Amino acid sequence: MRDTLAHLETDDAPVQRWQENANCLGVDPDLFFPERGASTREAKGVCAGCEVRLECLEYALGNGEKFGIWGGLSERERRRLRRQRALARRNAASA
């Protein structure tokens, strides 16, 4: 079985301290990368009570993760959040 944090760890980016407290530790990483159209409910359930959910989400946003469930959000939800944040920054800059 692959390491659960395999979706968090690459050769270029070793596991960060917050990742050691992730609820997904010990869970099959395939759960977080469902086939297109498949349910994300179970993966999001793992994330729901995770104490490092926000750190995970910020990691995904900061590193441009395009696939999978990160911090309890799907790719589509993260795109929406990035757009909302960009709009808020533009509005703040023009105010």
Give the per-residue pLDDT at 17.
87
10 Å Cβ neighbour count for 38?
10
Q: How far apart are CA 5 and CA 20, in angstroms?
A: 9
pLDDT tens, position by position, 15-61: 678 899 999 999 999 999 999 899 999 999 999 999 999 999 999 99
- φ, ψ for residue 73, nearest 5 deg: -120, 145
Per domain, the residue ranges of the chain are: 4-94
pLDDT tens, position by position, 2-27: 344 545 554 455 567 889 999 999 99
